[in-house]
Structure 1
């Protein structure tokens, strides 16, 4: 099931900001989701380091996708309501890895924790995302 979810998420992300930043979902579990993002000039700020906004895109992409995956109810969707990010280390090249886990799954909101690390497991960014659960505007 994990491979099917990962494949579906990557397909849904085609031609979006997610694909533009080369974010790839890599693993899904019952209460977690993982993805990777290469660190290159596409995600650099003017001083040649990973842009904090790119880390936030990775975090929110993981957190929102995880909420929708665990929601598993076509009548509702999870949408980002509030995100915070603590940028702890700089990164100029290589790859970063995001790991989103469920902190609290409520009826009207989800709280998701996202940790972004480098190839050596060092924490680059720590983030929390609150998703609101709203009626799906495309539900029939």
Structure 2
């Protein structure tokens, strides 16, 4: 049985689908990815999130070394509408992108069997400051 999965979202992106130094939270602190809990998901399902950075805004030029993978086991989902995972570490998963994009897709497994794969979500990422340099890291 395969289930339909919605694409992940980036809650810190602005209405133009950008994450930059003024985003809340700053990409230096966290780039959250939100995965909606689908009606067919059950407690114990395993979500695997995969992300990758790109040097262009349309997600075609991968930045080497920025791939990440996170696993989350669904606990009690009675009142929860979504799971939020944080892309880290900043130094290798986010910072090397500088100005480009970041994608996220996830799969769900139940008892080891793949039951669904999401569409790819893509957000534009710009760590460059107007006066030069990148987002301040010491804050």
TM-score range, shorter chain: 0.3 to 0.5
* Larger strand percent: 1
Give the structure-2-normalised TM-score. 0.36
The structure showing larger relative contact order (alpha-carbon pairs under 8 Å, at least 6 residues apart) is 2
Q: Which has the larger radius of gyration?
A: 2
* Larger helix percent: 1
